Amino acid sequence: MREMEEVNKDTSEVIFDHLHAAAYQGTPLGRTILGPEENIKSISRDNLIQYIQANYHTPRMVIAASGGIKHDEVVSLADKYFGNFPSNLDIFTRPPTAYTGSQVLVRDDSMTDAHIAVAVQGVSWSHPDYYTFMVLQTIVGSWDRTIGGGKNLSSRLCENVATNKLANSLTSFNTCYSDTGLFGAYVSCDADKIDEILYEVFHEWVRLGRDVTEGEVDRAKTKLKASILMQLDGTTAVAEDIGRQLLTHGRRLSPAEIFLRINAITVQDVMRVARDYLEDVDPVVAGVGALENMPDYNTMRGWTYWSRL
């Protein structure tokens, strides 16, 4: 309950809960991680035992280790402590997760600014276009007022935001799951800048399918590879990476293999994915705060295509 109180104080956490509830209506991904208050209060010891018995079996578990370890010793310990876990249970399969373009707004005029997330349907962890989406995310970029580079940024959108003071912060994201994903942007801005910043975000997405340059793609690929290496700084991060990849891919992709996949991405690949997923689509929108100047959903839907004669 204390954790829920802390989460509800973090506007970004609340925004993404609303975004998922709107995008994945009636599916497990639409529910919050902590669940409703009445569920938390009613959890019993038997509930926990039943959950472990139903979910903690070997087809759904990974043991990962990194650092100064001996493989045979890890295998021995795994067999000792997890060897008796059930292994012949059928892995639960669920139907494909349905995406719904929609909007949820929580207007609160007592707040001084607006927090808004906009997204479109993306791809899963294992989709062939996953790393192309990561390059797209890097091209769109992220910015806030504390960045030392100021207005001298490689991202066109971020440079525009910084120069014209359109937002307090802008964060692009690419959130992936087993069979779907969300590609989008989260912005914090003054109430009178909502219309401008959202237009620029959608305009940038559409531009990526039309005239992205070779230089933009090369810079994004280099920056993405550096980011991947920085995330693997330390044994804890490496162990988490091994476990996550085994669960999502069934094997570990080495940095070298990932770099080969990133290097193979071309300008044409970036433009194709942008046109297929970011252009003329139904976005999902979530907003909290001073939203009196929030544009109509159909207006934002119209910003996802670029009509040129």
pLDDT of 114-129, one tens digit each? 999 999 999 999 899 9
Q: How many CA atoms does the CB half-sphere of 108 hold within 13 Å?
A: 12
| Encoded tokens for 44 | 């019993």
Phi first, then psi, for residue 15 (nearest 5°) are -60, -45
Torsion of CA 197, 199, 204, 210, to 10 degrees: -170
* Band (92; pLDDT cuts 50, 70, 90): low
Give the type of residue at 91: I
Per-residue pLDDT reduced to its tens digit, 58-69: 888 899 999 999
Domain ranges of the chain: 96-302
Write down the pLDDT at residue 150. 65
Per-residue pLDDT reduced to its tens digit, 164-202: 999 999 999 999 998 999 999 999 999 999 999 999 999
| Encoded tokens for 165 | 């003071």
Coil, strand, or helix at residue 85?
coil
d(CA 138, CA 256): 19
Write down the pLDDT at residue 309. 40
- Is residue 52 over pLDDT 90? no
d(CA 261, CA 237): 21
Coil, strand, or helix at residue 89?
coil
| Encoded tokens for 262 | 């990133």
Contact 117, 285 (CB under 8 A): yes
Coil, strand, or helix at residue 41?
helix
Per-residue pLDDT reduced to its tens digit, 215-262: 999 999 999 999 999 999 899 999 999 999 998 888 999 999 999 999
Query: What is the CATH T-level fold of the domain 96-302, as seen in this structure?
Result: Cytochrome Bc1 Complex; Chain A, domain 1 (3.30.830)
- Beta bridge partner(s), residue 176: 181
How are strands ordered across the β-sheet holding 181-190? 103-107, 284-289, 113-121, 181-190, 169-176, 143-144
